[in-house]
Structure 1
Amino acid sequence: MIGLGLRTLLAKEVRRFLRVPGQTILSPIITTTLYFVVFGWSLGSRLKEVEGVPYARFIVPGLVTLGVISNAYLNSASSMFVMKLQGTITDLLVSPLSYGEVLAGFVGAAVLRGLLVGLLMWGVAGVFTGFGMAHPVEAAVLLLLIAIAFSALGFITAVWATSFEQINFFPTFIITPLTFLGGVFYSARMLSPGLRRFTLLNPIFYLVDGVRHGMLGLSDAPGAAGLGIALLLCLVSLGVSWWMLRTGYKLRG
């Protein structure tokens, strides 16, 4: 059962991002819709199909994954950093809530935002490309694990960071480049051998590829690779987050 304290923290975090829906929900949907229109329709007129799937439909799983990753990360990172900056995180740490409950509150709200944005983005894309899905349970489980992993990574970054510039460093210089180079707009089979080997070193490629397999039934990598990497990211990021809370790393004093 979820205790009153956890429910209160979770509700507070959810209300926080729902107060500004234009920024937290509508903005990423508009941005991704523009990606879809620009890349899907402009390139789709020249590149009709990828592995037998219309190009506009082929890029949908990657865009949904990008939306889930970005919003899950930013929600926990911004919320945690503001509380640390204001000093209110100390009050939360001395409350009767356990470290696991505190972490669950931040991560749970961030996961909800990430999945909500991903679902809405999939719905927008479905209007243009259709709503069919090859393996819906696989896609849903993988997106959930991705949201949890990057929510916890956002939490870790916020605890470590000392400025908003450091908060934005991770998504700007790591997440977004790795995602765009992770097969969102192309299949790894379309690349030269050298670029293909480079792509296969990118862990986000396997996450995008796994979601694509769940949605479209297409895959360039072994079927369990995306699920395994997502699960490993979850365990590591949640473990580090819990350790930071337990030790008070950059949170006390």
Structure 2
Amino acid sequence: DLYALHGLVLAVAERRDLPRERAAALLNLADLDAGTGRTKEALARYREALDAGRAAKDPYATGRAMESVGGAYAELGDYPRASDWYGRALAQRLTQGEPAEAARLYGRLGTVHTYAGRYGEALRNWRAAAAGHRRLGDLPAQARALSEMARVQEYAGRPQESLRTCREAVEWARRAKDVRLQAALELRLADTLDRLGDPAAAGLHRGAAERLLGEESETCETSSSSAEK
């Protein structure tokens, strides 16, 4: 039983006054709580882990705990606190020069701002996420961030901007050769065109998505047949 195991590690760490090990055990226990829907219990443990990480001067534990506190608040629907904690985690990642983690956290901030209806902040963070992924050369992640930007633009009542951004996302997915992502974005583009009153163009993009998925399915079947031989 993992819960009992991590509880034992925590007890030993507390008895021997080992803050780094205590932080790790608390994070593991909190993850188990979060994974089984005990979000409030997880939040309390993440906060304890943050204190232990600070006592140990462990940047990994503190950064991980801050992000997880943000995630717990987001799960509880407390988006202002979630964005505050994600912002703290982001500041640490930027200070430590961790661009991939920073890009991911910009995305998490974009998500909670979207849920809270703060579309301007959401767009700013998704734009930063897309730029970060572009600098890292992570084309699929860049396409996904642009796709989320398009979603927020539509929520904000800016359908033409949403359409342009979604087309840009499709192009980056194509360059990344991520067929499933490209097909999903073609479908999102079709939905946007439907809402803009252009069913003919929407149909073209749905057809493109179907062709992409059909081609991928044929490729997978061919690869499977070759492997069997």
Does TM, scored on the shorter chain, surpass 0.5?
Answer: no
More helix by share: 2
